[in-house]
Each structure stands twice: as structure tokens, then as C-alpha cells.
Structure 1
Amino acid sequence: MAETGLLGRVRTELPTLPDALQRVAEQILGEPEETARTTIVDLAERAGTSTATITRFCRLFGYRGYAELRVAVATETGRAAQARWDTDIDHDITPDAPLDRVLDVVASADARAIQDTAGRVDLAAVERVSAAVATAQRVELFGLGSSGNAAREMAFRLERIRVPCWHRSDPHTALTNAALLGPGDVAIGLSHSGRTREVIEVLSEAADHGALTVAITSFPRSPLSEIADVVMTTAVQETTFRLAALSALHSQLLVLDLIYVAVAQRTYERTTEAFEVTARAVDAHRLPRKRTRTPEGS
């Protein structure tokens, strides 16, 4: 598994872990450099738990044991230092913070979230989803709130390259359309928490009729993930005024954009022709470019 983004995954999933595993996660996140140097016994003592719990924590995140997890943490913290990445960035924005400070915090948080998301992307899953979307008779996307915005943007992009795609903002309409899907069709549900009831219901309905179901969420062990054929996880970085659900948009768009480009690659001739046709259709609505005035006599 990819080692990049482990700390982001731990940070994202921390609220869903049992108490003992939460203490391990908090210890690792609080002192990642020290974790890379300490023994399993020392970490267990600091977290107030047992070595068996540490081993269970490692396996939960896909590592065979503590040695592998230590290497992953060391690699990630070393990479961050080399890139001058501030792993202890203060995400607090006070009411009187100057705009240059706000810009630094927001830009750093978004960049870290995108980097962590890229580190956990399952490329085999992208291949599977893009292949299905490229040949599907129907593709349905559904999400609410900020996730709905990401779904709407993806639908716009796929429509532009002649993929029969729909985004439904109304849960009842989404459910009825999910019921019309079948084998060979694709349903993509977006929910940061993976616990949005309406998104779960839509994906479950699509699954009942044989469609390929795809969950895009920050929590790979959420109820949404449990019912999906393919799960693609995103990372978030909270800041003041931008809670997790509001910070997931950029990461969701990264995953969706990767799928979109992979679909465009698979349908290159169709996509290129669609771009040319649609560009001509709206060309008359664009103002002409201003000509650069040249000096007299030149």
C-alpha cells in the first residue's frame, strides 16, 4: 500500500476508532517523529494500552506489524521535512487574523488535503471505474451539500464528452433513477462522512439492480463504503470556519477529475470530436480578442 498520507488517514479516521485505538492514533499524530524512533513497548506505554493493541492498530491501517508502520511514519515525516512541509501547522484563524495569514492557513490546508488524497488513491480502482463509465449506458451521481457540488461538476464534465450522465439533487428523483439502473451502469455516491442516509439509500438501490456502485468518502469503514463495490477515499484538513465536510470538496474533485481524465483517455477520438463540436456551438457567444495595437510605421 502507498505510504504517503498515513498520518492524514489516521487523522481522518480517528473519531471512528475505539477508545484504545484512538489513544494510539493521538500519540502518533501528536509526535510522529518520535513514533518513527520509538519501540512498540514505549508507544504502548505512552498511549496507555498494550502492544497487542498497537499491532491491531497497524493491521487496521494495512500494515503487517509495527515495524512497517514505523517505516511509513518515518518516510512521511521525512518527505514532509524535505519539502519544507509544516506538519504542525496551526489551523486556527482568529477573528482579527490578517488576510495574508488566512491565505497561508487555507492554502496549506488545501494543499495537504490534496497531497494526502493523492497518496491514498487506488489506481486499480480508478481503472475499474473509468472503464465502466466509458462504456455505461447510464451514469448517476448523487451527493448533498458540498458533496453535491462535486457531483454536479463531475456530471458537467462527463456530459461534455458524451457520457450519458445525470446528477440529481433531489433524493426522491435520485432514488427513482437509481431504480432504473442495471448491469453495465454506474452509480457514484459522494459523502464525506459516509453516513449520509440519502446517499446510502441511493447507492443501495442502484446495487439492488446490478449497477456498479462507487463510494467517494473520507471514511473507508463507513456505512456507505460497506455497500459499495468500489471505495475511493479522500483526505481533509480542517481549519477555523471550514469544518471537515466543507473542506472535502477539493479532495473529492481530485478523485473525480482523475476518473474523468481516465475516461477521456479511453474515449480519445469521441472526446476530441465532442470538444470541437461544443466549442463551435458556443464560439459566437464569446467576445473577440482585442488586437494588439502596433506602433505606426512598424
Structure 2
Amino acid sequence: MALLEQPPSPGTRTAALDRIRAALPDLSPAERRVAERVLAEPARAIALSIGEFAELCEVAQPTVSRFCRSVGFPGYAALRLGVANDFAAESHGSREAPTDRLAALADRLRTDASLPTVAQAVRTAAQVEIWPAAELAGAAGVLATGLAELSVHAAQSAVPAHWAARARGLAPGAVVLLLAYGPADFGQTPGVEAAREAGARIAYVAAQPSRPLLKRADLTAPLPEHTSPELVGQLFAEALVEAVRAASHLAGPLGPVSPWRPWPHARTVFLPRGGGEDPIPCVQIDAPPEARRDCLVIFYNGFTANKEQALPPGVAGNRVSPNLVAALLNAGYDVLVPDAPGHGDRKRTWEDAVALHQESLSGKGPDLLALAREEATALVDGALGLGVVAGADRIALVGQSWGGLQTLLKLAGDRRIACGAAIMPVCDVTLLPQFADLGAAPRVREGGPGPHLAELLAPRPLLLIAGDRDPLTTPAHIADFAAALAPAYADVPDRLRHVVLDGVAHEFDARQVDEVLDWLSWHIPSA
């Protein structure tokens, strides 16, 4: 919990430091060396791994483990947490900082203009190394723990002699975060140069920065000056974790599935189409067993995306689908992600999805829009054949952007599907720049969404979600499509819902998830 949310007090402390002081007379000489080091440098004890701390104390790792048990902790991790709590409490008490001053300091850190940029770099980094100066070693440990909870591959080391070796093992796309209060000369350490050679980006955070390092760093953020560097570091760690959480676009209920790490319960399946046609390639993803609703959501990605790009962790440039799919799984819905016609494994590797659709819409080759509707029956039959759900009345369709168009066409193609939700749906394919000159093409007029779908969609529940700043699938076009459907839903108006989200462009927004999950819970409730 954040420092400001739970100010440490004697009643909430673990008394780790007090236990260590009381146990000193009864410890062996080797264990006493460990105890004295913890008491002398609690910030470093928090920051270092058990191996690093054992090396600092000049003892073996088992000695550190025995010491932990001797002072009442099951292991080094529990000891570090206890020391962190007590260290933060003593920092508060010794400085006697009023809560309002702490709040102002925290707000200054949270609202700094550079923080979102650093947070985005950390969020999308393949690996994050945190290298602190001694005075912020404790904050580095807190930061590494908070980032790891958000599925960021983060680790920290407060031992400069180890940095060069750690840098040599960095993955492409890594970020090294240099954390200091004063003008620590990280630039003179071989680790920073080794990180550069490995291709890592350097983020530099300091209250009194080194000018040469400011020039060399890829990203920088300031720390406010304060009488307690340790407290500033702790508050910065919390602010950065909070900013990374915001950059993660987490939505829906809490659960084990994250859009930022692989979910192991996924497999590729091929659904038969009959008539000698190629099967439909899909990824079948199982919801966490404890959350399963015995319902299936068939999910479609945006334009040019293949089915794999809906899988956590997806790709850096396509964050919408993994966030939606992770939320659906945590909410208990099994998910089936097919490749749309002309996408992924449904085209040759050298073929371009845009070129295929341009040819198709202009009348050459297979009619991909017609195919999207025609194959709905094969998709439902194949999904039922997987044995995930007992009947089609427990199947829903959800899609975003071009996937929203696929949702509308599939829902029109098979009346057994229970309901649908289209997020930022392409209701007019000529809105996409690639197809802007094809408005007169017969396949566009006849195969795309329009009033002719109304009787095929109604009366099944349909949710349409738009963003009021969306320049691509504009809210006006989605509103026109909803108005065209409205007469067919006249007897059941509550089954057609059109939502426009304030401040949203053609992008992910957590409110999209809230709307979809609420819609699904009403129209395909748990068995």
C-alpha cells in the first residue's frame, strides 16, 4: 500500500529492526555481521538480492537464511519486507513530515510532465534494470517489486561492480533506469557503457543531476529536493508504478490473465468449412478455471491483424486486442479468435491484406465481405464441436474496428448467435483511407454494413460503441448505422444500445471493457 494511504505507525510495523537489535547478543559471529549490516544500511538490505547481500556481508547465503530465521522471519524476502516497512516508518517519524506536505510532494511527482514518457518506456521495455545510488537503494527495491506485479520484467542491483555483467545479458529493447538523489557519476561506471553497447535505452532520474549524464540519457525525470532523499525515492517509486499501471490499460475484473504476459491456456484449432474449402484457423483460449462461465466469446481483431495479435502479450503497436481479451478471460469467458478472411493464416505469407481487400472490394477474386457473412454457420458449428459450450445461445461475438465489422456480418450470418458487441466498428469501409475511392463498387454497397442487415440482426442484443474523437470509425457514421437498425428493434428497443464515449479516439479505453462485460452479463448469463 502507498505511503500516503497507510502512514506507518508503531502499531502497524513488523518491528523487524527492533527484533534484530534484541537478537544481537544471541547470534553467531557470522549472523551478527549480517545483523549489523542490516541495522547500519537498511536501505541496501531492502534493495539487494540474498546473494548480493551475502557477498556484502562476506558470508555464505545459508548464513543469511539462518539469520532470518533467528530473528523470526521465514526467509530473506519476508525480512526485506519487514525492514522496508520499519525503514519507511522511521523515515516518517524522524522527519515528522506533515501529511499535507507529503501529499504535495507526491502530487508533484505524479504530475511531472516527464513521468508518462518514462512510464511508457518502462511499460513496453523487453526488460528493465534499475540501478540506484546508495541513498535510493531502498526505493529501487520497492520499484522493482511494484513493476514485477504489473508483469514488467524488472530487476534491480545496487552494486555498481555487478552492472557491467548484468548489462551484457540485457535483451534487445531493454531500459536501464538510473536512480539517484545527488549527482552520482553513473557515467564513469562500466555498466552504463555496457548497457549502451547492448542497445538499452538509458533513463536518468535525479534531484541534483549530473549534466554530462543528462546529455547522454535517452529519457530523464526530475526528483524534487527534500530533507529525506529516502522518502523522495519511495514516493517516486509509487508514482512511477502508478504511471506504469495507467500505461498498462488494465481493465475488467482482477484475475490471473494479464495483457502483458503470455497466458498458457491457448491452442491453435482449425474449424471445418465443408465443401472442400480451407478450414478457419483460430486460437482457442480457456478462461481461468475458477472464473469460467461456460460461455464463449468469438473475438475479432482490427484490420490487418492476425489472430495471434489478440494474445497477451501481443505486439507493441497493437495493445487494444490483448487488453480486451485479457479482460474477457478474467471475467470467465472462454475466447475463440479466428483469422478474418484475407488475414493471418488465411492468406499466403507474402500477400498483403490491404491489397487483397482492395482487389476483392473492386470485384476481383473472392468476395471477402460476403465470405465473412457466409462462414458464420461453419464458425458456430465448429465452435460447438470444440465442446466449450453446450449451445449456440451461449455464444457471443465481440470485435473492435475491422473486427467490429466482422462481428456485425457474422451476427447477421447465423441467427443462433446470442448477441454481439462491436467496438469502434467499421460501418462504412470507404472511411478507411485504403478504400476511400471504392464507394460505388457493388461489393461495398451490398456486402458492407447497412440498413439491409437490420432484419438479419434484430431482435438479438447488439451493442455499438463509438468514441467522440474517433477520426476513423467516426461517431456520426456509427450513429447513422444505429439509426438504420432502430426500426427493426422497435419492439425491443433495449436490445439495441449505442454508446459514445467522451474523449476517446480510435484507441483502447477501459470503459469499452466495462460496457461489453455489462452487456454480456445481461444477455448470456452464467449457466
TM-score bucket (shorter structure):
0.3 to 0.5
- Of Structure 1 and Structure 2, the greater strand share is in 2
- Computing the radius of gyration from Cα coordinates, the structure with the larger value is 2
TM-score after normalising by structure 2: 0.28
Greater relative CO (CA pairs within 8 A, separation 6+)? 1
